[in-house]
Amino acid sequence: MSEPDPPGTLYLQIADAIAAPIRAGTLAHGERIPSVRELARRHGVALGTVVQAYRLLEDSRLIEARPRSGYFVAAPAAQQAGLPEPEASRPPASSLAVDVSSLAERVMCLAHEPGYVSFGAACPSPELFSQERVRRAVARAALRQRAALTEYTIGPGDESLRRAIARHALSLGCQLDPHDLVVTNSCLESIALCLRAVTQPGDVVALESPTLFSFLVILESLHLRALEIPTHPRTGLSVDALQQAFDKQPVKAVLSVPTLSNPIGATMPQTERRSLAQLVAERRVPLIEDVLCNDLAAHDEARRAVRAYDPTGHVMLCGSFSKTVAPGLRLGWVDAGRWSTPVARLKQATSGSQSAVLEHALADLLTQPGAEASRRRLRAALATRVDEARSLIARHYPAGTRVTNPAGGLILWVELPRGVDALALFQSCLEEGIVIAPGTMFSATDHFRHCIRLGLGGEWDEPHRAALKRVGTLATAMGQSPS
């Protein structure tokens, strides 16, 4: 269980309780929400607390005040414009060798290059975190664990951090034994270790289509073949299609991001998660589940992991707090289920242990009373950006554009008209100092050549809004050019 929030964060709890049903569609556009006085009486709080909550919801463009009438659910601007969502993917039924690393490396290097307006990366910017809070935690850890600065550490990670991770996993619906957890250098290292533990070069790994380019880079480095599974932009990987793939392909592992998948931001319904857990158990195939972005989901239910439905240990759970607590600490974790021992041995053979000081600092940050309040503020800030970006796309991108509407997170997947080549658009944007991520980065196929991913976690100011509009202008011009 998480620590109780201090009294000053009551408004965040109230705002979150209203925001979740709005984003889930339970409360529709135009529905009236309780007055300030009514809600204050219902929750037993001061009027000012509810006013703060409503201001936050207004800033997030979820509600609107109507003079002399009260507060109502606002209509998303992009939804008013009729922006459709992208179509479900239809990848080939056979597995493919992977070769995306060169393009991925170029985009990631440029995304962090000074002088560019970047939508290429998918990481929150420093101003979205409490930098002073992180600095104090690191300073305390360095003082209390000063001997660790001059010692090598061995083992699966600091015990206090592993306990904090196990405690946090309760919010994912998972009861983890701290002794089974291994602290790693990142979520990606956790995933690579899991793949190494359960596959051999040439094996087939099933995963979403499109999928995170970093997954493809790992598959490429391990000489594994990618079997892309049809994926819906709202509900994620098709469990039925995966079951059919098991019947036809020698799948040795499944790699999936059920909550806010990257790059499309899909969130798998809980019924499908239960079915996925049952399927991999029946087929005795390991599922490597990435829960990196679960804390960014707009409502609690979406944070429940597939592992919560896994009594057999076939789900290998991988996570990190780089998107939600402190990107600079660069620490991940893994509970590999029935493969815990080989993963722990691979970890020690590959990179040993991490900095004990940073592990203590992260444990401190995870157990502080204001941790959940910080996550709520981060979710609200990102939701405002995503809503505004969708509105700009609706007004400035070519006719026929489709865009995702994720229930949280910091990325949008944009499907442009077929006449727009995303690689050519990428080059044109670079000439104007703008970085985007072309869709070909996210697949071993060539199926997403007209798609782009937009990362909205970086700076968000007028130059970035203007750059986002400019991407649409360039795409429109390309679609109108003779082929």
Give the number of other Cβ atoms within 10 Å of residue 360's Cβ: 21
Question: Beta strands of 130-265 (E only): which ranges?
Answer: 182-184, 204-209, 225-232, 236-237, 251-256
Q: Collapse the DSSP code of 424 into the 3-class scheme (helix H, G, I; strand E, B; otherwise coil) and give the result.
A: helix
Question: Beta strands of 245-336 (E only): which ranges?
Answer: 251-256, 287-290, 315-320, 332-335
Residue 230 scores a pLDDT above 90: yes
Instruction: Indicate the pTM of the whole model.
Output: 0.85
Q: How confident is the model at residue 59 (pLDDT cuts 50, 70, 90)?
A: low
Q: How confident is the model at residue 8 (pLDDT cuts 50, 70, 90)?
A: very low
Residue 221 scores a pLDDT above 60: yes
Q: How confident is the model at residue 2 (pLDDT cuts 50, 70, 90)?
A: very low
Comparison of pLDDT for 372 and 443, the residue scoring more: 443
Residue 6 scores a pLDDT above 50: no
Kindly give the residue spans of alpha helices, DSSP state H, lying in 298-442: 340-350, 356-367, 371-396, 422-431
Q: Which candidate, 189, 195, 464, 479, places its Cα nearest to that of 351? A: 189
pLDDT recorded at residue 273: 96
- pLDDT tens figures, 395-420: 999 999 999 999 899 999 999 999 99
Domain map of the chain by residue range?
7-75, 80-128+373-480, 131-367
DSSP state of 448: T
Q: Which candidate, 365, 392, 378, 231, places its Cα nearest to that of 298? A: 378
Residue 118 scores a pLDDT above 90: yes
| CATH code for the domain defined by 131-367 | 3.40.640.10
> 80-128+373-480, what's its fold?
Aspartate Aminotransferase, domain 1 (3.90.1150)
* Side chain identity, residue 40: A
pLDDT recorded at residue 155: 85
How far out from the chain centre does Cα 370 lie? 22
Class of domain 7-75: mainly alpha
Measure the CA–CA gap between 482 and 142, rounded to whole angstroms: 62
